[in-house]
């Protein structure tokens, strides 16, 4: 489920519950997810106040008042949900609807806000590709998993010149280059296809071929940079708006509401005005790519 826009949506949903609250109790229901939980996982969280909930690429960062940072990744199927109120007080229908999922509730944070309100935040992850690790105080940027990450596709940082410099001389297809977290951090399989469609570029085209000359970025690089930023910004906006009247912070509604231009639309008509092409699915580095052969070159 989660690429950068979904993780950002989750962050915004959890932020008001976490920030300023104290972690009164942590329930850890298994020894590992993708990786073993760090030593003293529960003990190091218990009693701490949360100062901030941040995000880098697809990682959530829970900052604690002693400087420790909990790094959380959702993997493919991870989600968080907020259960308001301190104790088991879930209406029957709601309970029944969710009970099936509870087998994959792996961690529960019991929180108390400065005003005394109690909340539970539950991490659920059926496939267990997600994980939680600590970054020691002051060492977040140097953490092995974060140190090598590329530029965020949010804001204005990713412009044509930056993207051209990153892709220059790369003999790898655009699809693979865009997925490479060391170049741009946060794009996943869905939004790479979407961005390439928006830019009118083939996922098979070699990344280096759009760079242009040094100091003079190609028009295609500028177009792609814009498309990436717009796709991500639109998706965050969609997730954010859907979250407003939604209880759960799992980002799923944002996804359901999204109608993708190419992803998952094999055989369907291209939605570019006047194109008339048919969306095709190919496999690149073992993963599906969707694009329109008629208007993406």
Identity of the residue, 52 or 76, whose beta carbon is nearer to DNA in the bound complex = 76
Catalytic residue among 56, 58, 120, 220: 58
Residue 93 in contact with DNA, rule: CB under 7 A:
no
3-state DSSP call for residue 225?
helix
265 is catalytic: no
How many CB atoms sit inside 10 A of residue 272's CB?
A: 17
CB 93 to DNA: min, Å: 18
Instruction: Select from 18-26, 150-158, 181-189, 217-225 the region that touches DNA (CB under 7 A).
Output: 181-189
> Nearest-CA neighbor of 47 among 108, 106, 112, 105?
112
Binding mask 49-68 for DNA (x = CB under 7 A): --------xx----------
Binding test (CB under 7 A) with DNA, winner from 168, 170, 220, 229: 170
Residue 160 in contact with DNA, rule: CB under 7 A:
no
Residue 75 in contact with DNA, rule: CB under 7 A:
yes
For residues 44 and 139, give the distance between their C-alpha atoms in angstroms, rounded to a whole number: 16
**Residue for token digits 């892709």?**
167
Residue 188 in contact with DNA, rule: CB under 7 A:
yes
Within residues 237-256, the interface with DNA by CB under 7 A covers 255
Residue 103 in contact with DNA, rule: CB under 7 A:
yes
How many CB atoms sit inside 10 A of residue 160's CB?
A: 20
CB 112 to DNA: min, Å: 31
Residue 260 in contact with DNA, rule: CB under 7 A:
no
3-state DSSP call for residue 38?
coil
CB 260 to DNA: min, Å: 10
Dig out the tokens for 290 from the structure: 């969707």
For residues 289 and 193, give the distance between their C-alpha atoms in angstroms, rounded to a whole number: 6
3-state DSSP call for residue 269?
strand
Catalytic residue among 2, 5, 153, 217: 2
Task: Compute the half-sphere exposure of residue 56: CA atoms within 13 Å on the CB side of its CA.
Answer: 20
Binding test (CB under 7 A) with DNA, winner from 16, 49, 105, 129: 129
H-helix segments, 73-209: 92-99, 144-147, 160-167, 174-179, 189-199
CB 203 to DNA: min, Å: 12
For residues 118 and 16, give the distance between their C-alpha atoms in angstroms, rounded to a whole number: 13
3 is catalytic: yes
**Any residues with CB less than 8 A from the CB of 230 and at least 6 apart, and which?**
198
Binding test (CB under 7 A) with DNA, winner from 15, 49, 86, 145: 145
182 is catalytic: no
Task: Compute the half-sphere exposure of residue 87: CA atoms within 13 Å on the CB side of its CA.
Answer: 0
Identity of the residue, 113 or 278, whose beta carbon is nearer to DNA in the bound complex = 278
Dig out the tokens for 104 from the structure: 């994959």
287 is catalytic: yes
Residues that bind DNA (CB under 7 A): 1-3, 6, 34, 57-58, 73, 75-77, 103-104, 126-129, 145, 170-172, 176, 181, 188-190, 255, 285-288
- Would you please indicate which residues are annotated as catalytic (active-site) residues? 2-3, 58, 287
């Amino acid at each position: 489920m989660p690429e950068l826009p979904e993780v950002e949506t989750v962050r915004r949903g959890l932020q008001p519950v976490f920030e300023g609250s104290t972690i009164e109790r942590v329930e850890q229901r298994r020894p590992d997810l993708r990786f073993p939980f760090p030593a003293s996982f529960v003990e190091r969280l218990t009693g701490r106040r949360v100062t901030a909930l941040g995000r880098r690429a697809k990682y959530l960062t829970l900052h604690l008042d002693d400087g420790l940072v909990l790094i959380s990744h959702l993997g493919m199927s991870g989600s968080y949900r907020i259960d308001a109120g301190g104790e088991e007080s879930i209406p029957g229908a709601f309970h029944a609807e969710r009970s099936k999922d509870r087998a994959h509730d792996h961690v529960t944070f019991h929180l108390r806000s400065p005003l005394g309100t109690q909340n539970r935040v539950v991490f659920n992850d059926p496939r267990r590709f997600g994980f939680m690790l600590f970054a020691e105080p002051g060492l977040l940027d140097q953490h092995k998993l974060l140190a090598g990450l590329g530029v965020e596709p949010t804001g204005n940082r990713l412009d044509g010149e930056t993207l051209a410099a990153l892709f220059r001389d790369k003999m790898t297809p655009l699809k693979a280059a865009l997925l490479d977290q060391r170049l741009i951090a946060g794009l996943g399989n869905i939004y790479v296809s979407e961005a390439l469609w928006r830019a009118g570029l083939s996922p098979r085209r070699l990344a280096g071929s759009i760079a242009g000359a040094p100091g003079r970025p190609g028009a295609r690089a500028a177009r792609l940079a814009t498309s990436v930023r717009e796709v991500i910004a639109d998706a965050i906006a969609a997730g954010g708006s859907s979250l407003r009247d939604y209880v759960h912070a799992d980002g799923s509604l944002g996804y359901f509401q999204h109608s993708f231009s190419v992803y998952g639309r094999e055989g369907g008509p291209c939605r570019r005005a006047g194109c008339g092409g048919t969306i095709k699915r190919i496999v690149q580095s073992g993963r599906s790519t969707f694009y329109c052969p008629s208007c993406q070159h």
